[in-house]
């Protein structure tokens, strides 16, 4: 079976559109934003206006209904100029919107996806902790259930969470331990937590080595209460949701690497001449 790597006219137009935007609007600001470690709400809104939010979300939820080839090309072209802006888009779409779209109920999709698909708001992926990254079983954040109130109470912390501490952040998908399984391992579940939830503290992180103008946060949950309807997917499905989300996101990480390499090569050739 052969596969053609030639780009269709539609793909070429998409690439040129995003490249033009990146060169004209992102490039002039990239160095200063990086030096100041400043997240740009203006550029984030502009990327939303360009259709880079909710890329693979169907139009009925105000998404762009792109395929993954279009999506990764968009990320590649942003990364060619500024890895931070590419990270904002990749994390929002793959890690933020992805779980809501693939595992959310119809009610949850209608409630959250429209604003997340138009550049009005960001969503974050709350997995990593000080002692737990891709090893989700090492998580310590816990959620306890009060059946009489149909309410979950979340306690714990998360760290290095992209798009979690900005003024545009609408919410976070949070993984927490909800019980012990019969095999002795932790039962993990996911919850939709609004950014303004009582008991949730969000702190912007600085001093990063890269993606300095993307928003990265520390999250602290002190008796944060969410209703039973805030569970994403089913109880005990958290590990599956998080791992499949990470797998889907790896395509955009590869696109970022390619875009950064292209940008570096172009800068090198320009300097050499």
Instruction: Say whether pLDDT at 5 is over 70.
Output: no
Render pLDDT for 128-143 as a digit per residue (tens, 0 to 9). 999 887 777 889 999 9
User: How many whole angstroms separate alpha carbon 155 and alpha carbon 142?
Assistant: 5
Instruction: Report helix, strand or coil for 203.
Output: strand
Three-class DSSP category at 102: helix
DSSP H or E segment with residue 160: strand 151-162
| Domain ranges for the chain | 9-120+245-272, 122-234
Contact 25, 100 (CB under 8 A): no
How far are the Cα atoms of 131, 167, 179, 239, 246 from residue 209, in angstroms, in the given order? 20, 23, 37, 29, 22
Mean per-residue pLDDT of the chain = 94
Residue 113, number of CB atoms within 10 A of its CB: 22
Question: Higher model confidence: residue 5 or residue 71?
Answer: 71
Per-residue pLDDT, 119: 86
pLDDT tens, residue by residue, 91-120: 999 999 999 999 999 999 999 999 999 889
Rounded CA-CA distance 2/34 in Å is: 42
Residue 271 CA: distances (Å) to CA of 6, 257, 259, 268: 30, 21, 18, 5
Two tokens, residue 179: 């019980």
The structure's pTM equals 0.93
Q: How confident is the model at residue 182 (pLDDT cuts 50, 70, 90)?
A: confident
Same fold, 9-120+245-272 and 122-234: no
Beta strands 200-204; 216-227: pairing state: antiparallel
pLDDT of residue 132: 85
CATH 1.10.540.10 at 9-120+245-272, yes or no: yes
Phi, psi of 41 (to 5 degrees): -65, -35
User: How far is it, in rounded angstroms, from Cα 117 to Cα 46?
Assistant: 13
Which of 132, 150, 244, 149 is CA-nearest to residue 141? 132
Q: Residue 10 — very low, low, confident or very high, per pLDDT cuts 50/70/90?
A: confident
Residue 127 is predicted with a pLDDT of 95
- Condensed to tens digits (0 to 9), the pLDDT of residues 235-267 reads 999 999 999 999 989 999 999 999 999 999 999
Residue 24 has pLDDT above 70, yes or no: yes
**Does position 1 have pLDDT exceeding 60, yes or no?**
no
**Superfamily of domain 122-234, CATH level 4:** Butyryl-CoA Dehydrogenase, subunit A, domain 2 (2.40.110.10)
Cβ neighbours of 251 (radius 10 Å) = 16
Confidence grade of residue 184 (pLDDT, cut at 50, 70, 90): confident
Q: Summarize pLDDT for 138-181 with one digit per residue, the tens.
A: 899 999 999 999 999 999 999 999 999 999 999 999 999 999 99
């Amino acid at each position: 079976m052969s596969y053609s790597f030639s780009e269709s006219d539609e793909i070429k137009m998409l690439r040129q559109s995003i490249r033009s935007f990146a060169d004209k609007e992102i490039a002039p600001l990239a160095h200063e934003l990086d030096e100041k470690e400043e997240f740009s709400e203006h550029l984030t809104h502009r990327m939303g206006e360009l259709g880079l939010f909710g890329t693979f979300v169907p139009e009925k939820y105000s998404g762009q209904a792109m395929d993954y080839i279009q999506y990764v090309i968009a990320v590649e072209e942003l990364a060619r100029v500024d890895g931070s802006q590419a990270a904002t888009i990749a994390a929002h779409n793959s890690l933020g919107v992805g779980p809501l779209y693939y595992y959310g109920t119809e009610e949850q999709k209608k409630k959250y996806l429209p604003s997340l698909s138009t550049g009005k708001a960001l969503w974050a992926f709350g997995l990593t902790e000080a002692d737990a990254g891709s090893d989700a079983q090492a998580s310590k954040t816990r959620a306890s259930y009060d059946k009489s109130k149909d309410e979950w109470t979340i306690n714990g912390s998360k760290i290095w969470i992209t798009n979690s501490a900005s003024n545009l952040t609408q919410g976070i998908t949070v993984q927490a331990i909800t019980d012990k399984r019969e095999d002795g391992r932790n039962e993990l579940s996911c919850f939709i937590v609004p950014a303004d939830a009582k008991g949730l503290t969000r702190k912007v992180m600085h001093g990063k080595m890269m993606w300095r103008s993307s928003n990265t946060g520390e999250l602290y949950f002190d008796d944060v209460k969410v209703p039973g309807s805030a569970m994403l997917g089913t109880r005990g499905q958290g590990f599956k949701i998080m791992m499949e989300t990470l797998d889907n996101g790896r395509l955009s990480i590869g696109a970022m690497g390619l875009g950064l390499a292209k940008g570096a090569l172009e800068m090198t050739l320009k300097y050499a001449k």
